[in-house]
Amino acid sequence: MRKQIAAANWKMNKSLSEGKDLLAEILNSDLSIGQNQEVIFAVPFPYLMETQSMIGGKSGMFISAQNCHHKTAGAYTGEVSVDMLSSIGIQYCIIGHSERREYFAETNSMLLEKVNLCLAKNITPIFCCGEPLQIRESGTQNEYVAVQLNESLFQLDADQIQKIVIAYEPIWAIGTGKTATAEQAQEMHAHLRNVLSARYGMEIASKISILYGGSVKGNNASELFSQPDVDGGLVGGASLIASEFVQIINALKK
Protein backbone atom coordinates (compact mmCIF):
# COMPACT_ATOMS: atom_id res chain seq x y z
CA MET A 1 0.00 0.00 0.00
CA ARG A 2 1.08 3.58 -0.68
CA LYS A 3 2.23 5.65 2.28
CA GLN A 4 -0.77 7.15 4.06
CA ILE A 5 0.21 10.57 5.40
CA ALA A 6 -1.20 13.10 7.84
CA ALA A 7 0.78 16.31 7.30
CA ALA A 8 0.24 19.27 9.62
CA ASN A 9 0.86 22.67 8.06
CA TRP A 10 1.00 25.17 10.92
CA LYS A 11 1.54 28.08 8.50
CA MET A 12 2.38 31.34 10.34
CA ASN A 13 0.77 30.38 13.63
CA LYS A 14 1.75 29.71 17.25
CA SER A 15 4.49 31.10 19.44
CA LEU A 16 7.28 28.68 20.33
CA SER A 17 5.75 27.84 23.71
CA GLU A 18 2.32 27.37 22.15
CA GLY A 19 3.77 25.14 19.47
CA LYS A 20 5.62 23.03 22.02
CA ASP A 21 2.43 22.61 24.05
CA LEU A 22 0.48 21.60 20.95
CA LEU A 23 3.09 19.09 19.86
CA ALA A 24 3.40 17.64 23.36
CA GLU A 25 -0.36 17.15 23.54
CA ILE A 26 -0.36 15.33 20.20
CA LEU A 27 2.60 13.15 21.14
CA ASN A 28 0.98 12.21 24.45
CA SER A 29 -2.31 11.24 22.81
CA ASP A 30 -3.53 7.78 21.93
CA LEU A 31 -2.01 7.55 18.47
CA SER A 32 -2.09 4.56 16.17
CA ILE A 33 0.59 4.91 13.47
CA GLY A 34 0.94 1.86 11.23
CA GLN A 35 3.93 0.78 9.17
CA ASN A 36 2.44 2.30 6.01
CA GLN A 37 1.60 5.59 7.74
CA GLU A 38 3.51 8.80 8.39
CA VAL A 39 2.82 11.92 10.43
CA ILE A 40 4.59 15.07 9.25
CA PHE A 41 4.81 18.40 11.06
CA ALA A 42 5.44 21.40 8.78
CA VAL A 43 6.27 24.04 11.36
CA PRO A 44 7.58 27.62 10.98
CA PHE A 45 11.31 27.88 10.25
CA PRO A 46 12.32 29.04 13.79
CA TYR A 47 10.75 25.91 15.30
CA LEU A 48 12.25 23.23 13.05
CA MET A 49 15.07 22.14 15.34
CA GLU A 50 12.99 22.32 18.52
CA THR A 51 10.28 20.21 16.90
CA GLN A 52 12.88 17.76 15.69
CA SER A 53 14.23 17.48 19.22
CA MET A 54 10.77 16.83 20.66
CA ILE A 55 9.96 14.14 18.14
CA GLY A 56 13.32 12.51 18.83
CA GLY A 57 13.24 9.84 16.14
CA LYS A 58 9.76 8.58 17.00
CA SER A 59 8.70 5.94 14.49
CA GLY A 60 6.62 7.26 11.61
CA MET A 61 7.05 10.95 12.50
CA PHE A 62 8.92 13.53 10.44
CA ILE A 63 9.55 17.27 10.19
CA SER A 64 8.90 19.40 7.13
CA ALA A 65 9.77 22.93 6.14
CA GLN A 66 6.91 24.99 4.75
CA ASN A 67 8.99 26.37 1.89
CA CYS A 68 12.51 26.82 0.54
CA HIS A 69 14.21 29.22 -1.85
CA HIS A 70 14.71 28.24 -5.48
CA LYS A 71 18.41 29.19 -5.47
CA THR A 72 21.20 27.42 -3.60
CA ALA A 73 22.65 30.53 -1.87
CA GLY A 74 23.19 34.24 -2.31
CA ALA A 75 21.93 37.72 -1.47
CA TYR A 76 18.34 36.71 -0.70
CA THR A 77 17.74 38.33 2.67
CA GLY A 78 15.23 36.48 4.81
CA GLU A 79 15.15 33.34 2.65
CA VAL A 80 16.05 29.75 3.57
CA SER A 81 17.93 27.41 1.24
CA VAL A 82 17.62 23.68 0.73
CA ASP A 83 21.23 23.31 1.90
CA MET A 84 20.28 24.94 5.19
CA LEU A 85 17.35 22.56 5.65
CA SER A 86 19.51 19.57 4.78
CA SER A 87 22.18 20.66 7.25
CA ILE A 88 19.73 20.31 10.15
CA GLY A 89 18.30 17.00 8.95
CA ILE A 90 14.95 18.11 7.53
CA GLN A 91 13.44 15.36 5.38
CA TYR A 92 10.36 17.03 3.81
CA CYS A 93 9.54 20.42 2.30
CA ILE A 94 6.21 21.81 1.08
CA ILE A 95 6.60 23.14 -2.46
CA GLY A 96 4.13 25.37 -4.31
CA HIS A 97 1.43 25.79 -1.68
CA SER A 98 -1.48 27.81 -3.08
CA GLU A 99 -0.64 30.67 -0.70
CA ARG A 100 2.93 30.78 -2.01
CA ARG A 101 1.66 30.80 -5.58
CA GLU A 102 -0.91 33.53 -4.89
CA TYR A 103 0.88 35.85 -2.45
CA PHE A 104 4.46 35.38 -3.60
CA ALA A 105 3.90 34.85 -7.34
CA GLU A 106 5.66 31.49 -7.44
CA THR A 107 5.61 30.04 -10.94
CA ASN A 108 5.65 26.46 -12.18
CA SER A 109 9.20 26.91 -13.47
CA MET A 110 10.36 28.27 -10.11
CA LEU A 111 8.77 25.29 -8.38
CA LEU A 112 10.62 22.93 -10.70
CA GLU A 113 13.88 24.48 -9.46
CA LYS A 114 12.81 23.94 -5.86
CA VAL A 115 11.84 20.32 -6.53
CA ASN A 116 15.20 19.60 -8.15
CA LEU A 117 17.13 21.21 -5.28
CA CYS A 118 15.17 19.21 -2.69
CA LEU A 119 15.69 15.91 -4.46
CA ALA A 120 19.41 16.59 -4.81
CA LYS A 121 19.59 16.84 -1.00
CA ASN A 122 17.31 13.86 -0.33
CA ILE A 123 14.49 16.09 0.90
CA THR A 124 11.06 14.85 -0.18
CA PRO A 125 8.97 17.57 -1.83
CA ILE A 126 5.30 17.74 -0.88
CA PHE A 127 4.22 19.28 -4.17
CA CYS A 128 0.96 21.21 -4.06
CA CYS A 129 -1.39 21.64 -6.99
CA GLY A 130 -4.99 22.73 -7.35
CA GLU A 131 -7.38 25.08 -9.08
CA PRO A 132 -8.99 28.39 -8.01
CA LEU A 133 -12.73 29.05 -8.10
CA GLN A 134 -12.88 30.55 -11.60
CA ILE A 135 -11.15 27.51 -13.08
CA ARG A 136 -13.51 25.09 -11.29
CA GLU A 137 -16.53 27.08 -12.45
CA SER A 138 -15.27 27.04 -16.04
CA GLY A 139 -14.92 23.25 -15.91
CA THR A 140 -11.24 23.30 -16.90
CA GLN A 141 -9.81 22.06 -13.60
CA ASN A 142 -8.45 18.82 -15.04
CA GLU A 143 -6.40 20.62 -17.67
CA TYR A 144 -5.26 23.23 -15.13
CA VAL A 145 -3.75 20.77 -12.66
CA ALA A 146 -2.27 18.68 -15.48
CA VAL A 147 -0.29 21.75 -16.59
CA GLN A 148 0.96 22.27 -13.02
CA LEU A 149 2.30 18.70 -12.92
CA ASN A 150 3.68 18.86 -16.44
CA GLU A 151 5.61 22.11 -15.96
CA SER A 152 6.96 21.42 -12.46
CA LEU A 153 7.39 17.65 -12.25
CA PHE A 154 7.48 15.95 -15.62
CA GLN A 155 11.15 16.70 -16.29
CA LEU A 156 11.88 14.22 -13.50
CA ASP A 157 12.82 10.67 -14.37
CA ALA A 158 10.92 7.60 -13.19
CA ASP A 159 13.04 7.13 -10.07
CA GLN A 160 12.75 10.77 -9.05
CA ILE A 161 8.97 11.07 -9.48
CA GLN A 162 8.46 8.21 -7.03
CA LYS A 163 10.14 10.35 -4.36
CA ILE A 164 7.48 13.05 -4.66
CA VAL A 165 4.39 13.43 -2.47
CA ILE A 166 1.56 15.34 -4.17
CA ALA A 167 -1.03 17.40 -2.31
CA TYR A 168 -4.20 18.46 -4.11
CA GLU A 169 -5.69 21.73 -2.88
CA PRO A 170 -9.17 22.65 -4.16
CA ILE A 171 -8.54 26.36 -3.67
CA TRP A 172 -12.15 27.08 -4.61
CA ALA A 173 -13.35 25.21 -1.52
CA ILE A 174 -11.07 26.94 1.00
CA GLY A 175 -12.54 30.03 2.67
CA THR A 176 -15.22 30.48 0.00
CA GLY A 177 -18.18 28.86 1.73
CA LYS A 178 -18.22 26.18 -0.93
CA THR A 179 -17.56 22.58 0.03
CA ALA A 180 -15.73 19.85 -1.83
CA THR A 181 -17.29 16.43 -1.35
CA ALA A 182 -15.35 13.22 -0.81
CA GLU A 183 -16.47 12.19 -4.28
CA GLN A 184 -15.05 15.37 -5.82
CA ALA A 185 -11.79 14.78 -3.98
CA GLN A 186 -11.60 11.23 -5.29
CA GLU A 187 -12.43 12.37 -8.81
CA MET A 188 -9.49 14.79 -8.89
CA HIS A 189 -7.09 12.41 -7.15
CA ALA A 190 -7.93 9.72 -9.71
CA HIS A 191 -7.35 12.26 -12.48
CA LEU A 192 -3.97 13.22 -11.05
CA ARG A 193 -2.97 9.57 -10.87
CA ASN A 194 -4.08 9.07 -14.46
CA VAL A 195 -1.99 12.09 -15.54
CA LEU A 196 1.01 10.57 -13.75
CA SER A 197 0.26 7.20 -15.34
CA ALA A 198 0.15 8.67 -18.84
CA ARG A 199 3.68 10.02 -18.31
CA TYR A 200 5.29 7.30 -16.17
CA GLY A 201 3.00 4.26 -16.33
CA MET A 202 0.44 3.05 -13.82
CA GLU A 203 2.92 0.89 -11.91
CA ILE A 204 4.84 4.01 -10.90
CA ALA A 205 1.75 6.23 -10.56
CA SER A 206 0.21 3.76 -8.14
CA LYS A 207 3.16 4.18 -5.77
CA ILE A 208 2.85 7.98 -5.40
CA SER A 209 0.96 9.28 -2.38
CA ILE A 210 -1.59 11.99 -3.19
CA LEU A 211 -2.86 13.98 -0.20
CA TYR A 212 -6.03 16.04 0.02
CA GLY A 213 -5.60 19.64 1.16
CA GLY A 214 -9.13 20.98 1.26
CA SER A 215 -10.17 21.75 4.84
CA VAL A 216 -9.62 18.30 6.30
CA LYS A 217 -11.14 18.06 9.78
CA GLY A 218 -11.66 15.40 12.39
CA ASN A 219 -15.29 14.93 11.35
CA ASN A 220 -14.64 14.44 7.62
CA ALA A 221 -11.23 12.75 7.58
CA SER A 222 -12.53 9.16 7.64
CA GLU A 223 -14.83 9.74 4.68
CA LEU A 224 -12.13 11.53 2.68
CA PHE A 225 -9.40 9.00 3.47
CA SER A 226 -11.66 6.07 2.61
CA GLN A 227 -11.56 7.12 -1.05
CA PRO A 228 -9.27 4.79 -3.03
CA ASP A 229 -6.95 7.50 -4.40
CA VAL A 230 -6.86 9.77 -1.33
CA ASP A 231 -3.75 8.89 0.67
CA GLY A 232 -4.17 11.25 3.61
CA GLY A 233 -4.26 14.98 4.07
CA LEU A 234 -2.26 18.19 4.14
CA VAL A 235 -4.01 19.79 7.09
CA GLY A 236 -4.08 23.48 7.94
CA GLY A 237 -6.36 24.87 10.65
CA ALA A 238 -7.32 21.51 12.15
CA SER A 239 -3.65 20.66 12.72
CA LEU A 240 -3.50 23.51 15.26
CA ILE A 241 -5.98 21.68 17.53
CA ALA A 242 -4.45 18.57 19.08
CA SER A 243 -7.68 16.57 19.40
CA GLU A 244 -8.61 17.32 15.77
CA PHE A 245 -5.24 16.34 14.37
CA VAL A 246 -5.10 13.14 16.44
CA GLN A 247 -8.51 12.19 15.03
CA ILE A 248 -7.19 12.87 11.52
CA ILE A 249 -4.09 10.74 12.13
CA ASN A 250 -6.19 7.86 13.38
CA ALA A 251 -8.44 8.10 10.29
CA LEU A 252 -5.61 7.15 7.91
CA LYS A 253 -5.98 3.88 6.05
CA LYS A 254 -4.38 0.95 7.85
Contact, 23 vs 183, CB < 8 A? no
Closest CA to 224 of 62, 3, 41, 4: 4
Closest CA to 249 of 86, 1, 7: 7
User: In whole angstroms, what is the distance from residue 237 CA to residue 96 CA?
Assistant: 18
User: In whole angstroms, what is the distance from residue 115 CA to residue 110 CA?
Assistant: 9
User: In whole angstroms, what is the distance from residue 127 CA to residue 206 CA?
Assistant: 17
Amino acid type, 213:
G
Which are the catalytic amino acids?
A: 97, 169
What SS3 state is found at 96?
coil
Where would I find the H helices in the chain?
A: 16-27, 48-55, 82-87, 98-104, 108-120, 133-138, 141-152, 158-161, 182-200, 202-205, 221-225, 242-250
